[in-house]
Amino acid sequence: VPVRDELVRFAAHYVAFKQWIWLYWLARRMLVQDLAAAVGPHEDHAEHLEPEAEPPDFFLIQPERPAELPLDHRRLWFGALAALVEPFCPDGSDAPHREHAAQLVRIMSEEPPDLDRIALDVQQEIPACNAALRVARAACMFARLDALHGEVIATTEAGFAGSCTAMIDARVRDAVLRASPRALFARYAPSLF
């Protein structure tokens, strides 16, 4: 394989991964805003709502009052951002990144299949919460995004090295983020984590 092709392959996966980290940061941020709207603001939310983007050479962009955005509008919002993921590697190995972005859109815009079950768990953890469905939805969405994050890392590693044999567990998934809200959501829905 010519050096140029390898360089383009690396660049394609690098750019797509940075775009993923940005989209994933925006999605996590919105889910923490959903959580804050349901249970009230808490100091544990602060590090997840920092305005400095992840990655730092990207930027914060969000709709006005994101926690009030209906799911169908979230589909449009994240769909427009996900459309920026454009595969350009000659061998097509970066094409899965576009599908990962589309999966993020679906996760952020559809009710999770296990919502009712997790809402019961949330109600057990915080009986006084009258917004258990909303908390459960945010936790379920984060859990699904977290699993997808592992797939994105594996796709990127395969793009860089040709294959990915490493275990992409929660520790690895969290290590590439500035701040993971895993513990925050696990507090309300421990069965997901």
Q: How many domains does the chain have?
A: 1
Per-residue pLDDT band for 130 (boundaries 50, 70, 90) equals confident
1 pLDDT above the threshold of 60: no
Compute the distance between CA of residue 129 and CA of residue 39 in angstroms, rounded to an integer. Answer: 7
Nearest to 23 by CA among 51, 47, 59, 50: 59
pTM to 2 decimal places: 0.94
Range of the domain at 172: 3-192
The confidence score (pLDDT) of residue 161 equals: 78
